Structure 1
Amino acid sequence: MKKKIKHSFLLFIFTSFAMPFFAQDNNFENTVRESVRHQMEKYPQSTLKDLYKHFFQDRYGPGHIIDDTVAAGKYLLRELDSYTTITGEIAEPTGWQHNFYRVNLSVIKDKLIPYDVFLSAFVRSVSGIRPIPIEDWKQEWGEIEDIIKSMGLSLPDYEKDNEEIDAKLEKGNYVGHHSDIFNKAYSPHYRIVSSQIYEEELLPLLEKQKGNQ
């Protein structure tokens, strides 16, 4: 009997350490589910690609799109000049850890935040990024995708998108893009800003502007 108990205990210990930390945490699943539900409520035309982008941005931030400050600034100006209709929330947290916010470019167009202040916040958000190894991200995304699948969302082209995402990850490429469906439905225009910079620097400016209205 003692041997059987000892064997069961050792098996439990081995299994626990073999599982990723997020797979052991019920809070992880609940938080992922809540994040997905929020995304689908706000953007019901989202596909798996859009949900993937929502979660990978939470881990990797804006680092993949910033080569240098000058290039980032020029690209931002071109995007600001490319559209006139302003839609969407001013700021929305990414993923399940909320390490970053998607900050709508409307804050510049509506003159709520000066362009140079916004660009500085965006560029500086890269310096605080601590990206996880691609193998760890592949494992975490696998857990997230399992949760999404269990929610029965009937996302269009689910299997096709899932295969494309997995193929990119196998090549060491974690970057994802919004689907054509999402772009046509919502015309997103935003930049990723770290939660700390947004909450400490940009949010007070937004609240001040709101108070002056």
Structure 2
Amino acid sequence: MKMSLAFILLFLSLTTLADDRERKIKQFIDAELKYYPGARLADLYKNYFQDAYGPGHLIPDTTHAGKYLDFELKQPIWTDTLRYQKLGVNHDYYRINLQLVKNGTIPRDTLLLAMVESATLARNPDIESWKKEWNEVLAVIKKVKPNLPGMEADEKQIEQIFSKGDVVIHHSEYYKETYHRHYRIVYRSVFERWKGKYF
């Protein structure tokens, strides 16, 4: 009898955890599509990816990162007005709109230093763990948004990247052309430090 009760309690606990996980994944999907309703599977993947791996792939060195930042700040089209956006389900990272650097709200060098600091704090799951984690998220996406444009093609692209031992993907062309987003990502401790000062 005691064993049966323990099993029931364990089952209920695991079910609650699974339900909570699915709820958070749905919230992440809804949040991205609320602001960017044309987002594709590739864009949802990138959002979720950035929350796990941070900005490390963007900053092989600060000189390169600085040059690329300067190049992007000179781009002509700035239509995205969302100042910041929390990412994934853990919200370890936040996207910071480069408009805040362009207009002088956040100093350029402050952002660069924040990126360097943030890169060391990513959880960086190994590829096998990551594939398992992403497939769990993908199952929920297919359940709640089965008709995302280009879903099948994006899914194949992600699988091809995995097969090469890689995890990095770019935004979809539609997303880039429609929303003209210019951002960098920083760790949540940096974001919390900046709240009240820049936001």
TM-score, normalised via structure 1 length: 0.83
Residue 63 of structure 2 corresponds to 70
For the aligned residues, what is the CA RMSD?
2.2
Residue 103 of structure 1 corresponds to 96
Q: Which runs of 5+ in 1 are unaligned?
A: 208-213
Residue 210 of structure 1 corresponds to none
Asked whether the equivalents of residues 107 and 113 of structure 1 are also in contact (C-alpha less than 8 Å), the reply is yes
- 1:22 Cα offset (Å): 11
Q: Which of residues 168, 185, 207 is equivalent to 2:161?
A: 168
**2-side partners of 1:179 and 1:35: how far apart?**
18
Asked whether the equivalents of residues 60 and 129 of structure 1 are also in contact (C-alpha less than 8 Å), the reply is yes
**2-side partners of 1:125 and 1:23: how far apart?**
32
> Secondary structure of 2:174's match?
helix
Which 4+ runs in 1 deviate beyond 6 A? none
Larger Rg: 1
For 1:67, the aligned partner's letter is P
Residue 128 of structure 1 corresponds to 121
Asked whether the equivalents of residues 100 and 194 of structure 1 are also in contact (C-alpha less than 8 Å), the reply is yes
Aligned ranges for residues 10-29 of structure 1 at < 5 Å?
Answer: 25-29=18-22
**2-side partners of 1:23 and 1:136: how far apart?**
22
**1-side partners of 2:35 and 2:140: how far apart?**
19
- 1:102 Cα offset (Å): 0.5
The alignment-based identity, stated in percent, is 36
- 1:117 Cα offset (Å): 1.1
**Residue 199 (structure 1) aligned with residue 189 (structure 2):** no
Asked whether the equivalents of residues 103 and 192 of structure 1 are also in contact (C-alpha less than 8 Å), the reply is yes
Change (3 A) 1:146 1:161: same
Asked whether the equivalents of residues 38 and 174 of structure 2 are also in contact (C-alpha less than 8 Å), the reply is yes
Aligned ranges for residues 1-213 of structure 1 at < 5 Å?
Answer: 25-200=18-193, 202-207=194-199
**1-side partners of 2:157 and 2:15: how far apart?**
24
**2-side partners of 1:46 and 1:22: how far apart?**
30
> Secondary structure of 2:185's match?
strand
Q: Which runs of 5+ in 2 are unaligned?
A: none
For 1:206, the aligned partner's letter is Y
> Secondary structure of 2:198's match?
helix
Count of residue correspondences: 192
> Secondary structure of 1:125's match?
helix
Asked whether the equivalents of residues 121 and 198 of structure 1 are also in contact (C-alpha less than 8 Å), the reply is no
